[in-house]
Amino acid sequence: MKATATAGSNIAIVKYWGARDAALNLPANGSISLTLDAARTTTTVRFDPALKSDALVLNGRETGGAALAHVSAHLDRLRAFAGVRVPALVETANTFPEGAGIASSASGFAALTVAAAAALGLRLSERELSALARLGSGSACRSVVGGWAEWLPGTRHEDSYAVQIAPPEHWDVRDLVAVVSTEAKAVPSAKGHERAASSPLFQARLREVEGRLPAVRRAILERDFHALGVLAEADALSMHAIMLTSAPPLLYWLPATVELIRQVWQWRAEGLPCYFTIDAGPNVHILTLPQAVPHVAARLRALPYVQQIIPCGPGPAPRLIPNGA
Amino acid sequence: MKATATAGSNIAIVKYWGARDAALNLPANGSISLTLDAARTTTTVRFDPALKSDALVLNGRETGGAALAHVSAHLDRLRAFAGVRVPALVETANTFPEGAGIASSASGFAALTVAAAAALGLRLSERELSALARLGSGSACRSVVGGWAEWLPGTRHEDSYAVQIAPPEHWDVRDLVAVVSTEAKAVPSAKGHERAASSPLFQARLREVEGRLPAVRRAILERDFHALGVLAEADALSMHAIMLTSAPPLLYWLPATVELIRQVWQWRAEGLPCYFTIDAGPNVHILTLPQAVPHVAARLRALPYVQQIIPCGPGPAPRLIPNGA
C-alpha cells in the first residue's frame, strides 16, 4: 500500500489555454510539450487504515487547505477505481522552487497518479494514467509521457490524454528557465482558463492552433530547431494575446519579461540558436541547443533581473522508485 | 499663395490598425479619437513660381529625403485639385517632441492639407479636407475634425473621412502622455499596417471593433468615463495582441510600458480615475479627468523611467492663422 514515483514537469510548445469542460479539465485545444528532466516532483503515497484522514507533506512541511483538498480529491478518484476507502499520507518534494515558472502541478499530479496507482495495486495503461493525471491538473497528462508529448483534447474523460510524439533521446533540446519573479500569480491558471473564452480573439486562436499542431509535430520529428522555435514563440504570444484581450484583461508579464523577449531576439540576431516561450506567468523559458547552453547561460547570468537559471533537458516518463523515500 | 494652419494631433480610443487599401490609406476598420489641444503642428505653405522644387523646413531645419518626398506627394494631390504646378516651401513645427508617442503625422498632414488648400484658394468642405489629409497619413483625417472624431472607413477615397461625434467642449477628458522612450520605432506604423493581416486573430479583431465603435460613441455622448476607459484599454490591448501575433511578431512595448500598465491599474484600484491607451510605440497615454490631473501627474513624475509628461486636453479643428509665421 505504499509506492514512490518521480515525474518531470513539462514545457508546452503549443499551449493549453481555455477549457472545454472545466470540471473534467477537457481542453479547448490540443497541445504539445517536452517533458523535462531536471524539474521533477518525487512523491510517496502510503495508504494506511490507521490514518484518520489524508495528510500531505509538501517539501517537508505538513500542508492543509486547498492543496490537501486538491490532493484528496485526486486520491478519491484512484480509490474509487480500486474500490478502497483507506486514507493516505502523501509526501512530495520538488527539485525546483515553486512559482519559478515551472508547472509543479504538472509534475506533481503525474507523480501522485503513478505513485497512488502503484500503491493501490492498480494495473493501468499509460493512457489511463495520463487521463487520470489530467483530472488533477490538465497539463499533468503530458507529464505522464516521456519526451515530446501531445495532449489529444478529446470530448470525454477517456479520450483526453497525452501520447508520445518522440522519446526524450530523439532530440536534445534544452530549456533554460530564466526566473525573474517567484511571487504567486495574481490570477491562477485555473481561473485564467475560465476567462479565455471571454476574449473576442479566442475562437480564432483555436483555429490557428489546429494548423500549428501538425507543424510542431513535423518540426519535432524532423529535428528542425528553427521551425520549432518560431512556432513556440508564435504560440506563446498567441496565448498571451488571448490573456491580454480577456475581460477583464490578464497581464502575466513583468517589465523583465519584455526585456528578455527583446534579449532573445537580439541574441538570435547575433547567431545564437535560442527562442522563448512563456507560460501563464512572468518567467521566460529559453529553448536552445546543447552547444549553445554555455553562451545563453552566460548572457542570462549577466542580466541583473534574472534571479535564477534552471537548466532542463528532455526527460523520461514517470518511474517508480523501488525503495521509495 | 501662402497660408498658415495649426492642427492638433489625436489619440485614438478605437485604433486604426491594418489597411483595406494601403495606397489610399483606406482602413480595415472604423476608429474613434480625441483631437488634442496641446500637441499641435503649425505649418506654413507658400506656393512660389520662383522655387525650383518643393522644400521642407521641419522644426527649423531644411529636410529632404523621405519626409520631403511624402510632403511633395501630398502637395501634388492638392495641386492636381487646383490645377496648378507651382512648387511650394513648407515650414512646419511641432509643439511636442517627435517619437514621444504622439502622432506627428496626424497633426502634420492635417495642418499641411488645410494650409495648402487655403494657399491654393481651394474651397473644400471638412469632409473633403479630411479625406485628403487621410491620403497623407491615415489618422490625419481624424485631426481635421475637432473634439471627438470618428473615421468612417469607407470603400473608396471619397467615402473614407472623419466626422465629429462631439465638439471639444462636450467633455473635458485629459490625456497625459507618459514618455518612456523617444527612439524611432524599429518598424514604422505604415509597415505595421501591412503586417496586421498576417495575424490569425486579425479578422476576429475587426469583428470585435464593429461592436466596440457604438459602445465608445455612447460612452462619449453620455460622458461615461469608466466605460470609455475600459473600452480604450481593451482596444489598445486588442491592437497590441494583433501586433504580437503578426508574422513576424511586432513588439512595440518596452519594460516601462508594462510597468506603466500595472501602475495605472494600481492607481485605479486606489480610486484615481485613470485608464491607459497605447499607440504603435512604447509610450503610454493616460486618460483621466481634470480634477485627477495633479494626482496622476505627481505619480508619473515619481517614476524614474518616465522621461517627460505631456498634458493634453480636447482640441479644436485645425484653423488658419491670418498673419501666419
Contact A249 B237 (CB under 8 A): yes
Same-domain status, A158 and A223: no
- Find where cell 513556440 sits: A232
pLDDT at residue A171, as a whole number: 98
Residue B27 gets the label, from left (phi > 0), alpha (psi -120 to 50) or beta, of: beta
Q: How confident is the model over A12-63, as pLDDT tens digits?
A: 999 999 999 999 999 999 999 999 999 999 999 999 999 999 999 999 999 9
A325, pLDDT greater than 60: no
Are B178 and B161 members of one domain? no
Would you call A234 and B251 a contact, using CB atoms and an 8 Å cutoff? no
Distances (CA, A) of B13 to A203, B32, B61: 24, 6, 33
**Nearest chain B CA: its distance from A207 CA (Å):** 8
Of A201, A247, A258, nearest to B241 by CB-CB distance is A201
Answer whether residue B325 is part of any domain.
no
Neighbour-count burial of B187, counting CB atoms closer than 10 A to its CB (0-12 exposed, 13-18 middle, 19+ buried): middle
Q: Beta A2-14 vs A88-94: how paired, if at all?
A: unpaired
Binned at pLDDT 50, 70 and 90, residue B183 comes out as: confident
Interface of B with A (CB under 8 A): 200-201, 203-205, 207-208, 233-234, 237-238, 240-242, 244-245, 247, 249, 251, 253-259, 261-262
pLDDT band at B198 (very low <50, low <70, confident <90, very high): very high
| A/B interface, count of CB pairs below 8 Å | 72
- Give ipTM to 2 decimals: 0.94
- Residues A280, A299, single domain; the answer is yes
Nearest C-alpha neighbor of A236 from the set A182, A281, A204, A300:
A281
Q: Answer yes or no: is A69 within a domain.
A: yes
Going by pLDDT thresholds of 50, 70 and 90, the confidence category of residue B75 is very high
Query: Within a 10 A sphere around the Cβ of B216, how many other Cβ atoms?
Result: 24
- Would you say residue A319 lies in a domain? no
What is the number of domains present in chain B?
2
* pLDDT at A324 exceeding the cut of 60: no
Name the grid cell of B314.
Answer: 480636447
Q: Which residue range forms the structural domain that includes residue A154?
A: 2-167
Span A7-13, mean pLDDT? 98
Residue A102 lies inside a defined structural domain of this protein: yes
Are the beta carbons of A245 and B234 separated by less than 8 Å?
yes
Chain A residue with CA closest to B254: the answer is A258
Residues of A in contact with B261 (CB under 8 A): 251
Is the pLDDT reported for residue A71 higher than 90?
A: yes
Residue that has been written with the C-alpha cell 485526486 in this structure: A74
User: In this structure, are A202 and A308 located in the same domain?
Assistant: yes
Helix (H, G, I), strand (E, B) or coil at A88: strand
* Angle (nearest 5°) at CA B160 between B227 and B170: 35
* Chain A interface mutation, best of B187, B210, B237, B305, highest count of A Cβ atoms under 10 Å: B237
Interchain pair A241, B201: CB under 8 A: yes
Q: How far is A158 from chain B (nearest CA, A)?
A: 31
Q: Domain with B124 in it: what CATH number?
A: 3.30.230.10
Give the pLDDT of residue A100.
75
Has residue A323 been placed in a domain? no
The residue from B152, B167, B182 where one domain ends is B167
Same domain as B160, residue B178: no
Average pLDDT in chain B? 96
| Strand ranges, E, within chain A | 2-14, 19-21, 26-27, 31-47, 55-58, 61-63, 88-94, 148-152, 161-166, 174-179, 274-277, 284-288, 308-312, 319-320
pLDDT at A153 over 90: yes
Question: At which of A142, A167, A192 does a domain end?
Answer: A167
Are residues B200 and A205, on separate chains, in Cβ contact within 8 Å?
yes
Question: Does the structure show a pLDDT above 50 at A194?
Answer: yes
Q: Is A320 helix (H, G, I), strand (E, B) or coil?
A: strand
Within this chain, do residues A230 and A291 fall inside the same structural domain, yes or no?
yes
Q: Are A10 and A106 a contacting pair, CB within 8 Å?
A: yes
Q: Which residues of A touch B200 (CB under 8 A)?
A: 204-205, 207-208, 238
B57: CB partners within 8 A, 6+ apart: B63, B89, B90, B91, B92
In a domain, A322, yes or no: no
Q: Do B244 and A240 touch (CB under 8 A)?
A: yes
Determine the Cα–Cα distance for residues B265 and A250; give it in Å rounded to an integer: 12
Instruction: Report, as an integer, the average pLDDT of A138-145.
Output: 98
Residues B25, B137, single domain; the answer is yes
Q: Which residues of B touch A256 (CB under 8 A)?
A: 255
Return the DSSP state at B147.
S
**Tell me, what's the pLDDT at A186?**
79
Q: Which of A200, A207, A255 lies closest to B208 in CB terms?
A: A200
pLDDT interval class at A184 (50, 70, 90): confident
Check which CATH number belongs to the domain holding A250 and give it. 3.30.70.890
Strands B61-63 and B161-166: unpaired
Task: Answer yes or no: is pLDDT of B99 > 80.
Answer: no
Q: Cis peptide before B294, with omega less than 30 degrees from 0?
A: no
Q: What is the mean pLDDT of residues A138-151?
A: 98
Residue B325 is predicted with a pLDDT of 47
Confidence of residue A198 (pLDDT cuts 50, 70, 90): very high
Q: Are residues B71 and B194 in the same domain?
A: no
d(C-alpha B323, C-alpha A8), whole Å: 76
What residues form DSSP beta bridges with B314?
B36
Contacting residues for A255 by C-beta, under 8 A, at least 6 apart: A305, B255, B256, B258, B259
Contact assignment for B258 to A261 by CB distance below 8 Å: no
**pLDDT exceeds 60 at position B88:** yes
Looking at A167, A199, A216, the residue that finishes a domain is A167
Of A242, A251, A258, which has the smallest distance from its Cβ to B254's Cβ?
A: A258
Residue B185 lies in a domain: yes
Residues A240 and A112 in one domain: no
Mark whether A103 and A228 lie in a shared domain: no
Same domain, B134 and B180: no
Is residue B321 domain-resident? Answer: no
Q: Which of B204, B240, B257 sits opposite A200 (nearest CB)?
A: B204
Do both B104 and B247 map to the same domain? no
